[in-house]
Structure 1
Amino acid sequence: MAIVKPFKAVRATRDKVAMVSSKSYEIYTPEMLNSKLAFNPYTFLHVINPGYKYHKQDVSGELRFKLVHNRYLEFKEDEIFTQDKNPGFYIYKKTTASKSFCGIISATSVEDYHNNVIKKHEGTLKERELLFENYLKNTGFNAEPVLLTYPDNSVIESIIKKYKQERSEYEFSTTDKESHKLWVVDDPNDIEQIIKAFKEIDTLYIADGHHRSTSSCLLAQNLAKDNPNHTGKEDYNFFMSYLLPESQLQIYEFNRFIKDLNGLTPHEFLIELDTFFRIENKGQELYKPKEKHHFSMYLNGEFYALYLRKSAYNFTDSLSKLDAQILFSTVLKPILGIDDIRNASKIMYSQDKSDSLELKTKVDTGNFKVSFGMLPTNIIELKEIVDADLLMPPKTTYIEPKLRSALTIYEF
């Protein structure tokens, strides 16, 4: 039984939302960031880059978090941000050149996270958990929802369809040729239907935002300890999420780029691979896998197709069947000596959303010795691994939609 709750979002006024909302902070290069800050006084990037106001970009730690809180208050004082008078859900539709996503922004329960109603597919780093928990504690708000997915539901879909036929509260386009619409659901009957429909859903799966959800839960635990009147209904017991039906989730793969062959020559490396793979030299022909357990490889100026020898590899559980895990177990760890796949000194990842030639171009620069590609993980694989209480290797999935910051803001 999944718990969802309407909330009073803090959000931009209709006339300014296109200028206020932004992509995730981590996407911007320093040059892009400076340009946005210099030419757009309304962008939310001013809130999360508070040092810009004082021509000081290296503000960090708790001082930065407190200044973020101050810039946020200024946006509210200037009425760039206002808070809705009534709690509601928010239907958000994002349309790109090739795909359309439409789901519900809601408050979701930390209790569901602890009770495994909200399930994760990736591990988290304690350092990042604590950093973001400290950020939340000092700022008092969250401006970027966790992306959760759920099995398609006809009741929820009918409510979304009803609102899509009405005039949206927000409708704007961005320079990357994406369009954004948002509807406010504050009718008590519709709110109750949404709450009831999610109560009948057994599991929500985290698609993106593992650190944000874990940090929100950590914050809730700490605030509850400090609150002698804790009831479990306080706003800090929930975190903002974007709930999307799983049929709309778009999953891409990550390519792997390796900086050295662990002391092997290309010929010796191919011989080592032969234990687990049937190898086919494709020369300059770009090979893209068409089946699970097939891999593409670019080495020494040539493409290769690698086909797993199933007689040499044991499938023991759902994780062992995952291509990213197979590559780690048969190649990255035993042959290339990469025990920690987060080790940036040996391996680099890049999502294969559009540039399939990237396997070649990055290696041809000389910065990498070999690259690997595979098919993307699908939602069935993801759920099987999660339901078995297993975790995927890092950088297994690149999932869309990527959500904008400050479209709705959750205070606690």
Structure 2
Amino acid sequence: MAIVKPFKAIRPNETLASKVAALPYDVMNSEEARDMVKDNPYSFLHVDKAEVDLDSSIDIYDKKVYGKARENLDNMIKEGTFIQDEKPCLYVYRQIMDGRVQTGLVVCASIDDYMTDVIKKHEHTRAEKEQDRINHVDYCDANTGPIFLTYRDNEEISTSIKHWADNHKPVYDFTSDDGISHIVWVVDDEVTVNRLCFLFGEVDYLYIADGHHRAASAVKVGKKRREEKKDYDGKEEFNYFLSVIFADEDLYVMDYNRVVKDLNGNSTEEFFNKVKEKFNVEEHGIEGKQFSPCEKRTFGMFLDGKWYKLSAKDGIFDENDPVDRLDVSILQNNLLHPILGIEDPRKDKRIDFIGGIRGLNELERRCKEDMKIAFSMYATTIDDLMDIADAGRVMPPKSTWFEPKLRSGLFIHRLS
């Protein structure tokens, strides 16, 4: 059963929340982050990507970067950019994008639940990316970016959260530059807090939707603190990590599309002949008439200015295998690898991945500039994600793209 607890959030002064809130550190590079903070001294990127305040030649994994993150965080607290709640609370975080609403509960989740698979994963993590966030959390003595969790919808939980939001005034209500609304309520009533914690205690599993590296890093920092404090009793804040939990029915997964540099030495005719062995191929139209799949097992393909519809033939995947039947697996196992030579999409520089938020025009643009061929995907579903996590398996890389992105800086969880 899942353990969640309230905490004394360090959060923005109400007048500065819109300026503090920032996209997650891992959705932009350092150059882009420098541009984002240029006219905004309050941006949380000064903490999450502190290299923006150091010379551009610095290695982003240099210890000076983590030291600068702690310095910036301490200064922002000292100067009143952030305040801290006086007692442990929960927080309701609502986002509205294009009229679609997702409402989550901000909590601290248990590192023990992570280690015992009450919190389930669906991705492998990379050691260097883990170490980056381990250093960041350890230096800052805080979880600065929330882990995005989900659960199979529970009507009592959803009703309780909605009731609180409907009957209380939010502390933050702003729209970010990308048009997404962000609304936050503080749940400071002890009865309501205890009720929500109890209800989550009846939830069998939580699932990481996004933030596997942040979660793994938070857990490793917690374990490190336990080794340093031999008499820990499990109540210390380092035994928990910052999370936002959404019901699965609230979430929206977008397509995660692919572009490839070349045809791997094949002529266009050779390429099509090989593709037709595993897929039915139908020309969709001339340039400008795009194809976005509207059902599983279908793919769009853009090549030489034309869009094609690919449909997977029967027998090329195992319907009973939750990983093999994913569209991303079908494309990888039957086209990208055997025909285009993309053996390891994590490492191969001939392939790139484009989140659906950027649209199919971006696929066409890349094919005109630096790529040869593009594939539009049908989005992986939340049920797919949960089925794979339940089976103890992992998804292929770049399987899911969640929108909207949680903002960092709205909630900070101190570890001591």
If the length of structure 1 is used for normalisation, what is the TM-score?
0.94
**Structure-2 residue corresponding to 1:382:** 385
Q: Once the two structures are superposed, what CA deviation does each residue of 1:302-361 show, in whole Å capped at 9, x if it has no partner?
A: 222111111344435111110101111111111111111112411000012352233333
Q: Once the two structures are superposed, what CA deviation does each residue of 1:373-404 show, in whole Å capped at 9, x if it has no partner?
A: 12101112221111111111111110123111
Please tell me whether the aligned partners of residues 291 and 376 of structure 2 are also in contact (alpha carbons under 8 angstroms).
no
Distance of aligned partners of 1:64 and 1:300 in 2 relative to their CA distance in 1, 3 Å threshold: same
Supply the RMSD in Å over aligned alpha carbons.
2.0
Please tell me whether the aligned partners of residues 143 and 410 of structure 1 are also in contact (alpha carbons under 8 angstroms).
yes
Distance of aligned partners of 1:118 and 1:292 in 2 relative to their CA distance in 1, 3 Å threshold: same
**Structure-1 residue corresponding to 2:223:** 221
**Structure-1 residue corresponding to 2:276:** 274
Q: How many residues align?
A: 411
**C-alpha separation in 1, matches of 2:293 and 2:37:** 43
Q: Once the two structures are superposed, what CA deviation does each residue of 1:229-256 show, in whole Å capped at 9, x if it has no partner?
A: 1222221111100011111100011111
Distance of aligned partners of 1:36 and 1:341 in 2 relative to their CA distance in 1, 3 Å threshold: closer
Please tell me whether the aligned partners of residues 275 and 312 of structure 1 are also in contact (alpha carbons under 8 angstroms).
no
- Listed as ranges, the gaps of 5+ residues in structure 1 are none
**Structure-2 residue corresponding to 1:401:** 404
SS at match of 2:135: helix
Q: What amino acid maps onto 1:160 in structure 2?
A: I
SS at match of 1:353: helix
After TM superposition, the structure 1 = structure 2 runs for residues 197-276 of structure 1, keeping only pairs within 5 Å, are 197-276=199-278
Please tell me whether the aligned partners of residues 300 and 309 of structure 2 are also in contact (alpha carbons under 8 angstroms).
yes
Asked if residue 3 in structure 1 is aligned to residue 6 in structure 2, the reply is no
**Structure-2 residue corresponding to 1:410:** 413
After TM superposition, the structure 1 = structure 2 runs for residues 290-301 of structure 1, keeping only pairs within 5 Å, are 290-301=294-305
Q: Once the two structures are superposed, what CA deviation does each residue of 1:195-218 show, in whole Å capped at 9, x if it has no partner?
A: 110011101111110100011111
Q: Once the two structures are superposed, what CA deviation does each residue of 1:102-158 show, in whole Å capped at 9, x if it has no partner?
A: 110000011111111111112111111122112211111122101101122222222
**C-alpha separation in 1, matches of 2:317 and 2:97:** 40
Q: What amino acid maps onto 1:268 in structure 2?
A: E
Instruction: Kindly report structure 1 stretches of 4+ aligned residues shifted beyond 6 Å.
Output: 54-57
Please tell me whether the aligned partners of residues 122 and 208 of structure 2 are also in contact (alpha carbons under 8 angstroms).
yes
**C-alpha separation in 2, matches of 1:385 and 1:355:** 27
Distance of aligned partners of 1:72 and 1:119 in 2 relative to their CA distance in 1, 3 Å threshold: same
Please tell me whether the aligned partners of residues 129 and 212 of structure 1 are also in contact (alpha carbons under 8 angstroms).
yes
Distance of aligned partners of 1:52 and 1:345 in 2 relative to their CA distance in 1, 3 Å threshold: closer
Please tell me whether the aligned partners of residues 342 and 348 of structure 2 are also in contact (alpha carbons under 8 angstroms).
no
**C-alpha separation in 2, matches of 1:259 and 1:308:** 23
The CA deviation at 1:24 is 2.2
Distance of aligned partners of 1:17 and 1:290 in 2 relative to their CA distance in 1, 3 Å threshold: closer
Larger mean CA deviation between 202-211 and 368-377 belongs to 368-377
Distance of aligned partners of 1:292 and 1:32 in 2 relative to their CA distance in 1, 3 Å threshold: closer
Distance of aligned partners of 1:57 and 1:325 in 2 relative to their CA distance in 1, 3 Å threshold: same
Percent sequence identity is: 34
If the length of structure 2 is used for normalisation, what is the TM-score?
0.93
Q: What amino acid maps onto 2:411 in structure 1?
A: T
Asked if residue 98 in structure 1 is aligned to residue 99 in structure 2, the reply is yes
**C-alpha separation in 2, matches of 1:181 and 1:302:** 43
Please tell me whether the aligned partners of residues 30 and 49 of structure 2 are also in contact (alpha carbons under 8 angstroms).
no
Name which of 178, 183, 186 aligns with 1:184: 186
**C-alpha separation in 1, matches of 2:135 and 2:379:** 34
**C-alpha separation in 1, matches of 2:298 and 2:64:** 50
Q: What amino acid maps onto 2:41 in structure 1?
A: P
